């Protein structure tokens, strides 16, 4: 496995993961590595090609991330993108300066008409995504300029003999219309990869690998019912059957009927060969959350309590050899330039359990992106409904109830959310939002029902379209659907006298209310 690999060397670019995904879409395995990895480590990995990412710095600043020149003498093809292209130029003796005109957004690029493998089959004039304030003023000796824009004399360049390529624009971004052709040219033609990275072989190899590693040992997995831990559970169960125990903690913050749905799939009536333990711990979580209003504290309490419950179950099982986790690649990618500001702590669990007696961790999905995890799930025969489930935060409804969490509020959100989901699913001809749910504001207001005054909660409906969950737009749900949802919630859910639709995009809002 992984015989052919492309290393995406990260210099702090915001699209580092996207580059790796695009390469994998060419059926070539790619990993993102921080630029701090040594040349010896790179050599040892024996990659078929290396891609330098973009980044926010200026190469001519001493403090900016650089890489030793010897990397260009390995004979391994290199593609520099944006900052990466400037790094190629600067390191090899070209000239990089602040551009008189910075380019940002969709830009027309004109090919010079020279023969270029990187730009093979690309139109003479094509739309690319630019985002730069510096530019390559002069290509290094031995390089041929292969395209330019109105304001950028070196939009791409190459040294064919040394197999070094550079683009000022971002081929990985969707707005670069022929970007995938360029990346394909790089990995398949220039790096000479075969393009035989496939999900079915990944799954089969992984199962065999787990079987070999685990031997006759015992494995313990915390199963949340989300896509990642479910796919991990099935993969492990196919590898080691009953040597696997899955602990499912129902913290009382799941969507309506979700606990039973998870049990139906993985429990004794389900199709998989594994030991399933369900812990109903709702009361315990509500008790801990009593009086707590601050969102980050709620997250922390839920994460920690989860670990405590899990530990207690693990103690009953006794020593295990392996602790399995559904960690996926975006969780483990180490950025070239460290972490950006924490807006919300998204970790589902507050670290590793301290008191579980295990020898080693297994993370079968560690190298997969989310869409690849879904493909693996389908490959393993998991139901589509589960595989394409919309994201659900680790702290569950805990972050969909503004302020203090109580059993009463949880019940309201569960009911309202089920109605909203049902109405959206039944609505015809609408674009399915990428994430949508009901939340509970902490507001109570006066209303009238029949002849009585009410003083009840306001439910907030939220639906967004997004491709990466970093930015999002409110979904344009037809008014009639919203109105019907509102009617049903008011009539069917006790304790609610107002329903609101949240129109805010992200930014400035976030997707969840907390």
> Does 299 sit near ligand XMP (CB under 6 A)?
yes
Question: Should residue 346 be labelled a site residue for ligand XMP when binding is judged by CB under 6 A?
Answer: yes
Is the Cβ–Cβ distance between 380 and 231 less than 8 Å? yes
Is the dihedral angle over the CA atoms 56, 58, 63, 65 positive or is it negative? positive
Nearer to ligand XMP by Cβ, of 307 and 399: the residue is 399
Task: Identify the CA nearest to 481 among candidates 429, 406, 409, 407.
Answer: 429
CB of 59 to ligand XMP, least distance (A): 33
| Site for ligand XMP contains 228 (CB under 6 A) | no
Q: Which residue has the tokens 């009086």?
A: 291
Residue (193 or 253) nearer to ligand XMP, CB = 253
Q: Which of residues 399-428 bind ligand XMP (CB under 6 A)?
A: 399
**Is residue 52 a contact partner of residue 9, using CB atoms and an 8 Å limit?**
yes
Least distance between ligand XMP and beta carbon 247 (Å):
18
Contact 464, 476 (CB under 8 A): no
Output 495 or 509, the one with its CB closest to ligand XMP: 509
Q: Which backbone phi and psi does 276 adopt, to 5 degrees?
A: -115, 125
Q: Say which DSSP state 506 is in.
A: B
Distance of closest approach, residue 394 Cβ to ligand XMP, in angstroms: 3
- Which of 57, 251, 348, 485 binds ligand XMP (CB under 6 A)? It is 348
Instruction: Tell me how far apart the alpha carbons of residues 428 and 22 are, in angstroms, rounded to a whole number.
Output: 33
Q: Output 165 or 248, the one with its CB closest to ligand XMP.
A: 248
Burial of 316: CB neighbours in 10 Å, binned 0-12, 13-18, 19+? exposed
Residues labelled catalytic: 82, 170, 172
Task: Write down the least CB distance from residue 476 to ligand XMP, Å.
Answer: 19
Out of 380, 395, 456, 489, name the contact with ligand XMP by CB under 6 A. Answer: 395
- Nearest distance from C-beta of residue 332 to ligand XMP, angstroms: 15
What mask of x and - would describe binding to ligand XMP in positions 444 to 463, judged by CB under 6 A?
A: --------------------
Of 140 and 395, the one with the shorter C-beta distance to ligand XMP is 395
Residue 181: half-sphere exposure toward Cβ, Cα within 13 Å: 14
Element of type H or E holding 450 = none
Among 159, 168, 435, 497, binds ligand XMP (CB under 6 A): 435
String of DSSP letters for 64-82: S----GGGGGS---EEEET
Q: Can you read off the two tokens belonging to residue 345?
A: 């702590």
Residue 127 vs 504, nearer CB to ligand XMP: 504
- What minimum distance in Å lies between the beta carbon of 465 and ligand XMP? 12
510 binds ligand XMP (CB under 6 A): yes
Would you count residue 393 as binding ligand XMP (CB under 6 A)? yes
Helix axes 282-289 and 295-317, enclosed angle (nearest 10): 140
Judged by CB under 6 A, does residue 344 bind ligand XMP?
Answer: yes
**φ, ψ for residue 445 (rounded to 5)?**
-145, 170
Footprint of ligand XMP (CB under 6 A): 299, 344, 346, 348, 391, 393-395, 399, 435, 469, 506, 510-512
């Amino acid at each position: 496995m992984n015989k052919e690999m492309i290393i995406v060397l990260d210099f702090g670019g915001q699209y580092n993961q996207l580059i790796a995904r695009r390469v994998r879409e060419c059926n070539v395995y790619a990993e993102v590595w921080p630029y701090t990895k040594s040349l010896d480590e790179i050599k040892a990995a024996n990659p078929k090609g290396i891609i330098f990412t973009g980044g926010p710095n200026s190469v001519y600043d001493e403090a900016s991330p650089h890489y030793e020149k010897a990397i260009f003498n390995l004979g391994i093809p290199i593609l520099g993108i944006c900052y990466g292209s400037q790094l190629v130029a600067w390191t090899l003796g070209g000239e990089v300066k602040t551009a008189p005109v910075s380019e940002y957004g969709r830009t027309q690029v004109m090919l010079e008409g020279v023969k270029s493998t990187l730009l093979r089959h690309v139109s003479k004039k094509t739309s690319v995504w630019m985002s730069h304030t510096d530019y390559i003023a002069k290509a290094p000796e031995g390089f041929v300029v292969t395209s330019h824009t109105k304001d950028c004399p070196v939009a791409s360049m190459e040294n064919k003999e040394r197999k070094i390529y550079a683009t000022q624009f971002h081929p990985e971004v969707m707005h670069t219309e022929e970007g995938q052709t360029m990346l394909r040219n790089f990995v398949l033609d220039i790096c000479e990869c075969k393009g035989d990275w496939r999900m079915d072989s990944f799954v089969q190899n992984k199962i065999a690998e787990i079987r070999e590693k685990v031997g006759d040992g015992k494995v313990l997995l915390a199963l949340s019912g989300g896509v990642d831990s479910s796919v991990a559970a099935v993969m492990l169960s196919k590898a080691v059957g009953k040597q696997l125990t899955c602990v499912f903690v129902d913290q009382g913050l799941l969507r309506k009927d979700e606990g039973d749905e998870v049990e139906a799939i993985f429990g004794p009536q389900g199709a998989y060969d594994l030991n399933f333990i369900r812990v109903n711990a709702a009361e315990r979580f509500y008790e801990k959350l009593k009086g707590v209003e601050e969102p980050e504290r709620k997250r922390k309490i839920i994460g920690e309590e989860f670990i405590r419950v899990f530990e207690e179950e693990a103690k009953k099982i006794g020593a295990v050899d392996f602790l399995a986790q559904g960690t996926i690649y975006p969780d483990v990618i180490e950025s070239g330039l460290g972490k950006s500001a924490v807006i919300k702590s998204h970790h589902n669990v507050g670290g590793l359990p301290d008191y579980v007696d295990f020898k080693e961790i297994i993370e079968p999905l560690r190298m997969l992106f989310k869409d690849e995890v879904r493909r693996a799930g389908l490959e393993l025969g998991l139901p589509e409904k589960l595989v394409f489930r919309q994201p659900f935060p680790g702290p569950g409804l805990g972050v969909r109830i503004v302020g203090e969490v109580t059993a009463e509020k949880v019940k309201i959100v569960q009911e309202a959310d089920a109605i909203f989901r049902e109405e959206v699913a039944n609505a015809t001809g609408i674009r399915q939002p990428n994430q949508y749910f009901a939340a509970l504001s902490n507001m109570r207001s006066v209303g009238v029902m029949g002849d009585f005054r009410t003083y009840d909660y306001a439910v907030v409906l939220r639906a967004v379209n997004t491709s990466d969950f970093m930015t999002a737009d409110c979904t344009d749900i037809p008014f009639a659907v919203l109105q019907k949802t509102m009617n049903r919630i008011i009539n069917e859910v006790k304790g609610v006298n107002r329903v609101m639709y949240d129109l805010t995009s992200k930014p400035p809002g976030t997707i969840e209310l907390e």
